[in-house]
Structure 1
Amino acid sequence: MSEHPHSALVRRGYEAFGEADRETLRSLLTADCVHHVPGRSRVSGHYKGRENILDLYRELGELTGGTMRVGLRGVYPDGRGHVMAVHTIYADRGDRGIEMPGGFWFTVAGGKISDIDECVQDIDEADAFWGAPG
């Protein structure tokens, strides 16, 4: 059984994120892609445009001293341009650590990711980990 192309696209994105491969990530996102980060932390908000999203990913790495990793648990396409992916985030920041299930709801258009909606198990804990807006 072959993997749906949208699932393969999302898996490539997770792999590139784990390797901090900005060029591959850039190639997987539409120029006007939006990543929606929930909560009220310093990283919460709507990141519009491929370069702003890549800057967010760079900031996550900096804030965690490079300790952030995402363990992909499953990828589920709907065959109509959406993919749900579930994962666990692991990271350390200062004297805090986080290990939290979450997921992304991806929209795919023209073979690229055009929208990423992020969900976390505990928004309050995620906000506490990432810290107040600066």
Structure 2
Amino acid sequence: MSEHPDCALVRRGYTAFVAGDMDTLSELFTADAVYHVPGNHILSGHHKGREAIMGHFRRIGEETAGTMQIQIDAVLGDGRGHVMSFHTARADRGDRGIEIREGLFFTIVGGKVTDIDECVEDIDEMNAFWR
């Protein structure tokens, strides 16, 4: 059984993110895509537009000095332009570390990501890490 193209797109995004390949990652988003990050910290908010999203990803790398690691647990699609992914993120920032489960809800139109909603297992832990 082959993977649905929307799920394959999300997996390509994860591969590019982990490799730090921002050029490939950028190609997966529409120009007006939006990434919604929950919480009350330096990275939370609505990152509107491909360039803002790429800036968000670059900032994650900078803030964690490249220590961010992602382990994919599942990528699930509905065949109608929606994909849910679940992963465990690990990173260090200064003298603080985090290991947290996260979920991303993607909307995909025409083979490109138009919207991502991020959910986290423990919002308080996430806020404390990124403050």
TM-score scaled to structure 1, two decimals? 0.97
Distance of 1:94 and 1:87 partners within structure 2: 23
1:3 alignment partner AA: E
Determine the structure 2 residue equivalent to 1:45. 45
Determine the structure 2 residue equivalent to 1:73. 73
Determine the structure 2 residue equivalent to 1:8. 8
How far residue 80 of structure 1 moved from its aligned partner, in angstroms, is 1.0
Deviations along 1:30-65, one digit per CA (max 9) or x if unpaired, are: 000000000001100000000000000000000001
How far residue 130 of structure 1 moved from its aligned partner, in angstroms, is 0.4
Determine the structure 2 residue equivalent to 1:108. 108
Distance of 1:73 and 1:16 partners within structure 2: 17
Instruction: Name stretches of at least 5 consecutive residues in structure 2 with no aligned partner.
Output: none
1:26 corresponds to 2:16? no
Determine the structure 2 residue equivalent to 1:54. 54
How many residue pairs get aligned? The number is 131
TM-score scaled to structure 2, two decimals? 0.99
1:122 alignment partner AA: D
Determine the structure 2 residue equivalent to 1:92. 92
- The percent identity for this pair of structures is 60
Taking only aligned residues, the RMSD between alpha carbons, in angstroms, comes to 0.5
Please identify runs of 4+ aligned residues in structure 1 that moved more than 2 A. Answer: none
SS in 1 for 2:42: coil
